[in-house]
């Protein structure tokens, strides 16, 4: 079911010279002002707004990160819909600081941090007495999604082409490892208010942050307490006001700015059951741009095939692959082959006999198809696909640099 969420925090700045005009305006409809949302009965509404923002942020992370990475290709000269110069910058790694696609994502991510942080403050200081269950629900979600915001800053944004990290609320630049530490801090706080199932989600998210930091012992202990086969995981299933952005820009049902590299079709050619997790759609000739080579088969994604398609953020399959990587590559205990094959079996895919770095990279490429993780893997496995002088992160935008005195 698709939910249309209206969640607007209204801050009014009224200039004296315009006062009479403003007073003559009729009241706006469909807006709930921030100042009236101080009762515990508003918590459900506030949490839903955070979840909606999480969805709109994550879908833009996927589009930008997977174009800058190598899971999407900008379809210029292939499809007639490929008209975004900002996507062309992403694919080449020659990113301008005023790239408005990145700018829009930065705004979304800043809102996710603000809204989740604001709910913590409301619950602790402004909403009075409430039941323990309601308070736990509010604080689990607010700390969890605040952790998500920090994790996304750490993994995707950067001050320079090779220096990851971000700025929180116009504050100083925080490098990626320190930002991951802040994410872990927030996820750990969420554990205090979590149900048993929620705690598994938080543990898997903590494990991922430690893995990406290169702290393999802590990654292992948290992944061991994380999601297992059959657990639900964390899914962005709350459609925001706008349609799913990946579907909107990368699906033949609306438009097709991007296609996927041939290697994903090759995975399916090698094992037809890979089509159960690597979801592709053959590009119809009706979408080709004039001059496109019609003798070549092109593919676009079928993973997000509607405007309300859910987006996986953490799954038991990813947790398994983290544990397999930790065992096979980083000296931690565990049976990497069994862990990988449990994931493959869930899609009807044949077992592998051994697991090494090549297998881990390929399994993550397929399992985490269009989730944004590939960009991080390209960096940490030292398999970067662009020249050394290209952006390896999404740049902290010109707007942030101009308005934040903490950035030179």
Task: Tokens for 51, please give them.
Answer: 């979840």
Containing structural domain, residue 298: 34-305+315-403
Closest of 318, 308, 307 to residue 342, by C-alpha: 318
Residue 124 forms part of a structural domain: yes
For residues 350-375, average pLDDT: 98
Give the span between the Cα atoms of 283 and 300, in whole angstroms: 6
Give the number of domains in the chain.
1
In this structure, what CATH number is given to the domain that contains residue 207? 1.25.40.390
For residues 156-175, average pLDDT: 97
Quick check: 287 and 81 in contact, CB under 8 A?
A: yes
What phi, psi does 394 have (nearest 5°)? Answer: -80, 130
pLDDT tens-digit map of 99-109: 999 999 999 99
Q: According to the model, what pLDDT value does residue 242 have?
A: 60
Residue 390 forms part of a structural domain: yes
For residues 349-358, average pLDDT: 98
For residues 264-272, average pLDDT: 98
Q: According to the model, what pLDDT value does residue 345 have?
A: 98
What mean pLDDT, rounded, does the chain reach? 89
pLDDT tens-digit map of 122-147: 998 866 788 999 999 999 999 999 99
Residue 4 forms part of a structural domain: no
Residue 374 forms part of a structural domain: yes
Question: What are the residues whose beta carbons fall under 8 Å from the beta carbon of 151, sequence distance 6 or more?
Answer: 179, 180, 183, 205, 208, 209
For residues 299-324, average pLDDT: 95
Residue 355 forms part of a structural domain: yes
Q: According to the model, what pLDDT value does residue 4 have?
A: 34
Residue 46 forms part of a structural domain: yes
Q: According to the model, what pLDDT value does residue 241 have?
A: 57
- Return the percentage of the chain with pLDDT > 90, whole number: 82
- Evaluate if residue 30 carries a pLDDT over 60: no
The pLDDT-based confidence of 240 (bands split at 50, 70, 90) is: low
The pLDDT-based confidence of 57 (bands split at 50, 70, 90) is: very high
Give the span between the Cα atoms of 136 and 311, in whole angstroms: 25
128 Rama class: left (phi>0) / alpha (psi -120 to 50) / beta: left
Q: According to the model, what pLDDT value does residue 144 have?
A: 98
- Evaluate if residue 391 carries a pLDDT over 60: yes
Residue 14 forms part of a structural domain: no
Q: According to the model, what pLDDT value does residue 290 have?
A: 92
Q: According to the model, what pLDDT value does residue 237 have?
A: 83
- Evaluate if residue 289 carries a pLDDT over 70: yes
């Amino acid at each position: 079911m698709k939910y249309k969420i209206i969640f607007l925090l209204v801050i009014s700045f009224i200039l004296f010279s315009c006062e009479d005009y403003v007073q003559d305006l009729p009241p706006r409809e469909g807006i709930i002002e921030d100042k009236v949302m101080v009762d515990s009965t508003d918590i459900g509404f506030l949490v839903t707004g955070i979840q909606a923002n999480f969805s709109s942020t994550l879908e833009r992370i996927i589009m930008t990160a997977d174009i800058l990475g190598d899971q999407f290709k900008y379809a210029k000269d292939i499809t007639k819909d490929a008209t975004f110069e900002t996507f062309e910058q992403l694919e080449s790694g020659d990113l301008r600081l005023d790239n408005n696609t990145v700018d829009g994502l930065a705004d979304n991510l800043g809102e996710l941090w603000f809204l989740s942080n604001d709910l913590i403050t409301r619950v602790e200081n402004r909403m009075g007495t409430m039941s323990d269950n309601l308070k736990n629900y509010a604080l689990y979600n607010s700390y969890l999604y605040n952790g998500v915001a920090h994790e996304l800053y750490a993994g995707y944004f950067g001050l320079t082409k090779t220096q990851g990290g971000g700025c929180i609320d116009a504050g100083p630049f925080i490098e990626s490892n320190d930002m991951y530490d802040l994410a872990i801090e927030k996820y750990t706080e969420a554990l205090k208010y979590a149900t048993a199932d929620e705690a598994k989600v938080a543990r898997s998210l903590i494990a991922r942050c430690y893995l990406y930091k290169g702290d393999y012992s802590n990654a292992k202990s948290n992944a061991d307490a994380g999601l297992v086969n059959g657990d639900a995981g964390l899914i962005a299933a709350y459609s925001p006001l706008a349609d799913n952005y990946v579907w909107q820009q990368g699906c033949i049902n609306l438009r097709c700015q991007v296609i996927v590299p041939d290697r994903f079709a090759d995975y399916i050619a090698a094992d037809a059951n890979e089509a159960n997790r690597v979801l592709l759609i053959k590009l119809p000739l009706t979408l080709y741009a004039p001059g496109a080579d019609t003798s070549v088969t092109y593919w676009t994604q079928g993973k997000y095939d509607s405007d309300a398609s859910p987006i996986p953020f953490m799954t038991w399959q990813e947790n398994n692959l983290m544990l397999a990587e930790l065992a096979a590559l980083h000296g931690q205990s565990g049976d990497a082959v069994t862990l990988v094959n449990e994931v493959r079996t869930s899609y009807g895919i044949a077992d592998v006999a051994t697991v090494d770095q090549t297998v881990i990279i390929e399994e993550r490429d397929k399992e985490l198809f269009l989730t944004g993780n590939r960009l991080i893997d390209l960096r940490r496995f030292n398999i970067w696909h662009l020249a050394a002088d290209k952006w390896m992160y999404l740049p902290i935008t010109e707007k942030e640099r101009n308005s934040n005195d903490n950035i030179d």
